Amino acid sequence: MRSVGETPAVSIPGSDGPTSLTTVAVVGTTGYTGQEVRRLIDAHPGLGAPRLLTARHATADAPGDAPDAPEPFHPERLDGVAVVFLCTPHGVAQPLARTELERGCRVVDLSADFRLRDPELHARTYGAKHTAPELLDEVVYGLTEHARPRLPDARLVANPGCYPTSVLLPLLPLVSAGLVDQDVPVVADCKSGVSGAGNTPAPSNVFGAVHDNFRAYAVGGHRHAPEIKQEAGIRKLVFVPHLLPVFRGILSTIYLRPVQGASAEGMRAHLQDYYEGEPFVRVLDGEEGQPSLADVQRTNRCHVALAEQDGHVVITSAIDNLVKGAAGQALQNMNLMLGFPEDAGLT
Ligand SMILES: NC(=O)c1ccc[n+]([C@@H]2O[C@H](COP(=O)([O-])OP(=O)(O)OC[C@H]3O[C@@H](n4cnc5c(N)ncnc54)[C@H](OP(=O)(O)O)[C@@H]3O)[C@@H](O)[C@H]2O)c1
């Protein structure tokens, strides 16, 4: 067993690491994010063939005969694995992460299991008691652009939710700089493609319900609201998600009141300065128009624009929910955990 935090052998141009390919594992490989993680691992120059695992099957029986069928999750199958990507529904990752950490692996959890720091808030939000609360203190919330200094030593990374990623990337630097009036709620009006709901069919996400249609859902009670409030450090948030008749992509429109003396122009300048040189976050100039899903689909990019209307600042932010909102950000985090260039496999 390798000791936790030990960097495995790696070698790619621009990397500080030593030689040979690194082994990672993916749990939940048949889901949308699991497939996306696999696609990105295949394109990553420093990673070898991933170990594909499933935690859905309780026995050690192989779930299928295909050459890339996942093996049942078993601690021994983690030997030699540097990082495990958990692409499983919430609730599943808590015991898995504990086992993986004990085995000397590092973990990037794409589910919501480790995102909320308060176990009571987690229980209220997700309807079940947290079963690994002892791990919450060490979790690094992996909004990469804001988590960089902590990632090289992180054992357990909570990959942010897709909606929170689209909202927090523009909002967080503005709140931190004291530019947002916190006496009025921030309004996040967000629209997602149907892949955001995962690959389990439900009456609300089958073709007949989504095609040629558009509606809000979970109004007043979506689980990503506490996550956005926690990470942005805001008291009041109105968050309304909508289901778009497209497969991938999120467009979030954020309405906020600036503090006295602040303006959309000043906020744009602040964000452009903040994200200058970032490989994946682009704050558009006033004349460049609006972010669109087509510009970010299948990329790890987030495009942001700002405008002003009647004393409010309107921010639009577009990402691909399966890439910057899930698998791409997970690989970006892994790159920093293992000492790869941050954009390795992502450009
Ligand atoms: N979809 C998005 O845009 C998105 C974005 C950010 C975060 N996330 C989060 O990422 C996680 C995965 O999302 P997804 O969209 O990929 O979901 P998904 O398409 O529903 O896939 C989840 C996979 O997890 C495994 N699984 C299902 N039930 C399980 C159980 N009871 N026990 C163990 N494994 C089980 C299955 O894979 P195997 O049968 O191969 O094991 C399944 O294919 C979720 O927690 C989700 O909230 C999703």
pLDDT tens, the chain, 347 aa long: 333 334 444 445 555 554 589 999 999 999 999 999 999 999 999 999 999 999 996 544 555 667 788 999 999 999 999 999 999 999 999 999 999 999 999 999 999 999 999 999 999 999 999 999 999 999 999 999 999 999 999 999 999 999 999 999 999 999 999 999 999 999 999 999 999 999 999 999 999 999 999 999 999 889 999 999 999 999 999 999 999 999 999 999 999 999 999 999 999 999 999 999 999 999 999 889 999 999 999 999 999 999 999 999 999 999 999 999 999 999 999 999 999 999 999 99
pLDDT at 1: 31
- For the beta sheet containing 140-141, the strands, ordered from the edge strand earlier in sequence to the opposite edge, are 71-72, 51-54, 24-27, 83-86, 106-109, 156-158, 140-141
For ligand 1, atom 30, the nearest C-alpha belongs to 56
Q: Tell whether ligand 1 has an atom less than 6 A from the beta carbon of residue 328.
A: no
Measured distance CA(320)–CA(196) in Å, rounded = 10
Ligand 1 pocket, mutate which of 35, 36, 86, 87 (most atoms under 8 A from CB): 87
pLDDT at 68: 80
Q: How far is the CA of 67 from the centre of ligand 1 (A)?
A: 21
The DSSP symbol for 235 reads S
The answer to whether 324 touches 33, Cβ cutoff 8 Å, is: no
The answer to whether 197 touches 205, Cβ cutoff 8 Å, is: yes
Q: Tell whether ligand 1 has an atom less than 6 A from the beta carbon of residue 200.
A: yes
Sign of CA dihedral 97, 98, 103, 106: positive
For ligand 1, atom 4, the nearest C-alpha belongs to 196
Q: Tell whether ligand 1 has an atom less than 6 A from the beta carbon of residue 199.
A: yes
Give residues with Cβ within 8 angstroms of 166, minimum separation 6: 190, 250, 251, 252, 302, 317, 318, 319, 325
Q: What is the number of other CB atoms lying within 10 angstroms of the CB of residue 246?
A: 16
Catalytic entry in 105, 162, 190, 302? 162
The answer to whether 282 touches 262, Cβ cutoff 8 Å, is: no
The answer to whether 144 touches 336, Cβ cutoff 8 Å, is: yes
The DSSP symbol for 325 reads I
Residue 55 alpha carbon, nearest atom of ligand 1: 33
**Active-site residue, 302 included:** no
Q: Tell whether ligand 1 has an atom less than 6 A from the beta carbon of residue 198.
A: yes
pLDDT at 273: 98
- Residue type, position 179, single letter: L
Q: Tell whether ligand 1 has an atom less than 6 A from the beta carbon of residue 53.
A: no
Residue 321 alpha carbon, nearest atom of ligand 1: 3
pTM of the model: 0.94
Q: Tell whether ligand 1 has an atom less than 6 A from the beta carbon of residue 94.
A: no
